[in-house]
Amino acid sequence: MSKLIFEPEMYCSCAQTEELDGTDARTLGGSGLWVGVLSRGDCLLEGCEQPGHSGDVLLGAAPLVLTPQSDCHLLAARLTGYCADAYLLRLGAARWADGASCPGAAELLAQLHGGGSAPMAYALLCAVGKADETARPLPPLVAEALEAIRQNYMALYGVEELSEQLGVTKSHLVRAFKQALGVPPGKYLTNVRIEAVKTLLLTDEYNLEMIAGLTGFSGANYLCRVFKREVGLSPAAWRAAAAPPPAVPKLPPRSAEMFV
């Protein structure tokens, strides 16, 4: 009989569920990816220009500040683990997405709210796997800027270089980007780099100087300053908290011991 050689919770698990029911504002906190389904009403997400409507899917990292515009019902789960971190790296800014692309998400959320398992959390992540691609269309300039950041964040000097590549002024790009996504392009670029740093920190193959070079930071010292400012922990402290505990070898049963 084969045995699993890893813990499913390392890759995706449900750390918390929250239910918003009524008209009171709510802030979702904690680390990881929040996935929610708005089953009733309209709700504003701070930093997102367009409100969510009944049937929409909420995706993003904390803090998520939600302000109902009518009587709302939202069920959400906070997913953690390597797979959730990878999804966040691709996702970027928090958003409302079209719930029609993941019809099973509401049922999975209801089961997780009732105490579902890690495999169920992974099933929810799979259900919303393409939801980030079904968000309301972005202006062409913003969509092009997002693609440029995601593809070249490790070599991009900054917003000035990005605006030159796109053939627009820096002020125009910042204005359009912030209006569409709620954050300026510089902040978005930093977020993408920080998520890439987290992914590399989960391995023992790279030191901080190497990670800085691979993610677009000028050096380890600068990486540490930005990481501490954005995450609240140093890279070393985050790595220690995120790393799985070392496996403890089991002693053989006394019946299996050999004596000479």
pLDDT for residue 256:
46
pLDDT for residue 89:
80
Query: Would you mind telling me the total number of residues written for the chain in this entry?
Result: 260
Residue with token string 């049937």: 55
Fold of the 13-133 domain: Jelly Rolls (2.60.120)
- Rounded CA gap, 96 and 132, in Å? 8
- Measured between its terminal Cα atoms, the distance across the chain in Å is 32
Q: 3-state class of 49 per DSSP?
A: coil
pLDDT for residue 4:
45
Q: How far is CA 87 from the centre of its chain?
A: 6
Do 13-133 and 140-242 fold alike per CATH?
no
Label residue 17 exposed, middle or buried (CB < 10 Å: 0-12, 13-18, 19+): middle
Task: Give which of 6, 5, 72, 85 is closest to 41, Cα–Cα.
Answer: 72
pLDDT for residue 165:
93
Instruction: Give the gyration radius of the chain's Cα atoms.
Output: 21
pLDDT for residue 82:
86
The whole-number mean pLDDT for each consecutive block of 10 residues of the chain, a chain of 260 residues, reads: 52 90 93 93 84 90 91 94 86 84 84 79 86 70 89 89 94 88 85 87 86 92 93 88 59 47
Domain extents for the chain?
A: 13-133, 140-242
Q: Which residues contact 97 (CB under 8 A, 6 or more apart)?
A: 56, 57, 58, 59, 128, 131, 132, 134, 135
Q: Which residues of 30-66 are buried (b: 16+ CB within 10 A; e: fewer)?
A: ebbbbbbbbbbbebbbebbeebbbeebbbbbbeebbb
Q: Which residues contact 27 (CB under 8 A, 6 or more apart)?
A: 63, 64, 65, 66
pLDDT for residue 258:
43
Fold of the 140-242 domain: Arc Repressor Mutant, subunit A (1.10.10)
Residue with token string 């269309």: 137
Number of CB atoms found within 10 A of residue 165's CB = 13
